[in-house]
Amino acid sequence: MTTKPSAQASRAEYARRINRVLNYIDAHLDQPLDGAQLADIANFSRFHFHRIFAAWMGETLGSYAQRRRLEKAAFRLSCGSHETVLETALATGFHSGEAFARAFKLKFGCTPSTWRSTTLQRLKMQASAIGQQPGNQESNPDQVFSNIHQEGEPALGESDVSYRLTETCAMDVRIVDLPKARVAYQRLIGPYGPAIGEFWRGTIAPWMHSNGLSDETCYGIGHDDPSLTPANKCRYDACVEVPAHFVASGQVDILALPGGRYAVASFKGKAEVLGNAWMWLTREWMPSSGLQCDDRPCFEMFSATTALDPHTGEFSCDICIPVRAL
């Protein structure tokens, strides 16, 4: 006799399957998406998949893919790379510059070129004010992550170049090769900010303890830009490195973080200025570095056991941005 899964276990399995589809879509935004293939990835009925996806996500598959393409394009345009508007369009799945421009203006109210010029000018003004006033993580134009970070323990190689974030907070940016990592993750969908810290404390930390993973390396991946993506649709993955024999269960799933070349910056400071650190790295340091972001995920890397300095209240982590040559 087959035992019927509980409602909680059933929802956890749905979440795992849909998350696999979202991960696949994000990794293939430059390609046509096949609904039947996505249904197979989720192991759902091909006939019912579109309805299941829309019910779970609150938007159709087509609307979701279009939104993510435009959000990714907007982020690429605002990063100060030498990529043309047409190259951005093709890299995010649009077949012509005209179709991209129409869709972009419909969503953001301006042309891609105007977006690029006005956003870069605004962010330069904001970056010049870093250190003069506290940052606001929820309005940060870059990916925003957890407020649990790592005490300085990078062991990632020699420093290639140093830049100063503010007079009181310096970050060394090193170009290093990071190894691949096999992680178990749980996803939080909703506004970035305090909820992420509570997610780590209330859900992830107890799970790590019960599975003997408290001393493992942690990663925080904010997949969405909160200045572009609706707050209730922002995705954050709390990840913990696990050995090859580890088997995920419940709402936990396995993800492979790709290795390769990363710009790694050591951050230490109050959590509320972390967003400014991300902004400085992507909007100020990156355009001057001779490098550009590629499509691997950005993340924060830290150890939960040494993340917080109990005496100063400061957080420490390594901010990791995947890079390639211009």
From first to last of its 326 residues, the chain has per-residue pLDDT tens of: 555 567 788 788 888 999 999 999 999 999 999 999 999 999 998 988 998 899 889 899 999 999 999 999 998 888 766 789 999 999 999 999 999 999 999 999 999 999 988 876 765 665 555 444 444 333 332 332 333 333 333 322 333 333 344 433 457 899 999 999 999 999 999 998 889 989 998 999 999 999 999 999 999 999 888 878 889 999 999 999 999 999 988 889 999 999 999 999 999 888 778 888 887 887 778 877 888 788 788 999 999 888 888 888 888 999 999 988 86
Q: What is the DSSP letter of 282?
A: I
Distance of alpha carbon 27 from alpha carbon 155, whole angstroms = 29
Residue 1 within a domain: no
When computed from its CA atoms, the radius of gyration of the chain, rounded to whole angstroms, is 20
- The answer to whether residues 151 and 56 belong to one domain is no
Distance of alpha carbon 303 from alpha carbon 307, whole angstroms = 6
Neighbouring C-alpha atoms within 13 Å toward the C-beta of 313? 4
- The answer to whether residues 204 and 170 belong to one domain is yes
> Which residues span the domain enclosing 218?
137-325
Q: How many domains is the chain built from? A: 2
Distance of alpha carbon 53 from alpha carbon 15, whole angstroms = 11
Cβ(69)–Cβ(92) below 8 Å: yes
- The answer to whether residues 102 and 189 belong to one domain is no
Distance of alpha carbon 105 from alpha carbon 101, whole angstroms = 6
* CATH code for the domain in which residue 68 is found: 1.10.10.60
Map tokens 């929802």 to a residue.
Answer: 11
- The answer to whether residues 303 and 170 belong to one domain is yes
* CATH code for the domain in which residue 278 is found: 3.20.80.10
Residue 283 within a domain: yes
* Cα–Cα–Cα angle for 71, 97, 113, rounded to 5 degrees: 65
Q: What is the DSSP letter of 193?
A: S
Q: What is the DSSP letter of 287?
A: G
Residue 126 within a domain: no
Whose CA is closest to 22, among 233, 211, 217?
233
- The answer to whether residues 180 and 283 belong to one domain is yes
Distance of alpha carbon 182 from alpha carbon 216, whole angstroms = 11
- The answer to whether residues 29 and 157 belong to one domain is no
**By three-state DSSP, how is residue 142 classified?**
coil
Residue 2 within a domain: no
Strands (DSSP E) found in the chain: 161-164, 170-178, 181-189, 217-222, 235-241, 253-257, 260-269, 291-293, 299-303, 315-325
The pLDDT value given to residue 252:
93
Compute φ and ψ for 30, nearest 5 degrees.
Answer: -85, 5
Map tokens 């039947």 to a residue.
Answer: 36
